[in-house]
Amino acid sequence: MVYTGSVWRVAGNRYEVRPAEGAFSCTLSGKLRHERSADVRPVAVGDIVEIEAEGSEGRIERVLPRRNALARADVHDARRRQVLIANVDLVVVVQAAARPELDWHEADRALVMAGAGEIPAMLCVNKIDLAWERPAAAGPGAGSGERIPPAMAEAAERYRAVGYPVVLASAAAGRGIGELRERMQGRSCALLGPSGVGKSTLLNALVPGLDLKTGAVSEALGGGRHTTTWFERVPLPGGGDVADAPGVEVFEPWGVTRAALAGCFPELSELAAGCKFKDCRHVREPGCTVKAALGGAVSRERYESYVRIWESLPPDR
């Protein structure tokens, strides 16, 4: 039988594909491996695929065109593309307020990855309870007068001002989860952030009972959460789904050139048309409206991230 369905999980060399009804544990056809050998993986979570199946087993024969893809350069060979997830409605870039230290530049690189894939993105700063400032007379715990540190609040407003929604959350304390769930509702979402920022805890808060559900899926596919390569989507209560990319520590945007980088920074893109030179890169050129706006429409912190990423990219040919 031939079915068309969506890829919900990748574990090693097995792919869970869900048509309108049922689920199949699939491998890839040799033809498909050959046709898509330029990518690290020929098929990604979120892909819509055609399979030939019998019983509970199937073989993926074709990948339908993607509307977008979240991708990075392969960590072992920068000439190859690694698609993390396809057909995404929202990328949630996750950082921790503390433990590990919040890294705004790393967040900017992840936002560029989303922008390069033409995917809407937002920021979630988790573990905000570890950064709360408390009055000296207040006791520990919620309701004791905690407040967000001014520098962090200002940084959040900096991103909101250029169009990125920001949620300050604490999965452990239950703060911000409702707002985050509301923004993700009915959409196919991806959590993107390094290890240690609390993505798993966020997932458990967003999807009650997730541990039991993922354990059952792992057993059905013949693998577990310790499989070397795995990536899966889980349904969100009330509609939509969310995927986590465990072990993604390198945010090296795929397909971004120096010339195109400003287009991944909304505040720079708006100003670039006014530059003296049409091919202005907003780094060393005179008459640059982007540099003239530093400290105003363009924050110095975001501009420094832009320059660091620009310098990390190969020169345009």
pLDDT at 220 over 70: no
Compute the chain's Rg from CA coordinates.
21
Q: Examine the pLDDT at 30 and tell me if it is beyond 50.
A: yes
- Give the tens place of pLDDT for each residue, 284-314: 999 999 999 999 999 999 999 999 999 999 9
Q: How far apart are CA 176 and CA 123, in angstroms?
A: 12
Measured in residues, the chain has a length of 317
- Whether the per-residue pLDDT at 103 is higher than 90: the answer is yes
Domain ranges within the chain, ordered by starting residue: 2-65, 71-78+85-244, 258-312
pLDDT-derived band at 216 (thresholds 50, 70, 90) equals very low
How high is the pLDDT of residue 283?
A: 95
What tokens were used for 153?
């609040």
> At residue 96, what is the residue type?
A
User: What pLDDT is attached to residue 233?
Assistant: 93
CATH code of 2-65, in short, is 2.40.50.140
Looking at 121-135, 136-150, 234-248, 284-298, which range is the least confident one?
A: 136-150
Give me the pLDDT at residue 146, please: 74
pLDDT band (50, 70, 90) for residue 213: very low
Render pLDDT for 50-69 as a digit per residue (tens, 0 to 9). Answer: 999 999 999 999 999 999 99
Measured distance CA(255)–CA(72) in Å, rounded: 8
168-211 pLDDT per residue, tens: 999 888 899 999 999 999 999 999 998 889 888 899 999 988 87
The highest-level CATH class for domain 258-312 is mainly alpha
pLDDT at 165: 98
Give which of 166, 230, 183, 220 is closest to 9, Cα–Cα.
230
% of residues, the chain, pLDDT over 70: 89
Region 129-138: mean pLDDT is: 71
CB atoms within 10 A of CB 291: 17
**DSSP states of the chain as a string?**
-EEEEEEEEEETTEEEEE-SS--EEEEE-HHHHHHTTTBSSSS-BT-EEEEEEETTEEEEEEEPPPS-EEEEE-SS-TTSEEEEEES-SEEEEEEESTTTTP-HHHHHHHHHHHHHTT--EEEEEE-GGGT-B--TTPPSSTTS--B--HHHHHHHHHHHHTT--EEE-BTTTTBSHHHHHHHHTTSEEEEE--TTS-HHHHHHHHSTTHHHHHHHHHHHTT--TT-SSEEEEEEPTTS-EEEE-TT-----BSS--HHHHGGGSHHHHHHHTTSSSTT--SSS-SS-HHHHTBTTTB-HHHHHHHHHHHHHSPPP-
Phi, psi of 101, deg, nearest 5: -60, 140
Residues 40/80, Cβ–Cβ less than 8 Å? yes
**What predicted TM-score, i.e. pTM, was given to this entire model?**
0.89
Backbone φ, ψ for residue 28 (5° rounding):
-105, 145
Average pLDDT over residues 160-168: 97
- Residue 155 is predicted with a pLDDT of 94
CATH class of domain segment(s) 71-78+85-244: alpha beta
The answer, yes or no, to whether residue 268 has pLDDT greater than 70, is: yes
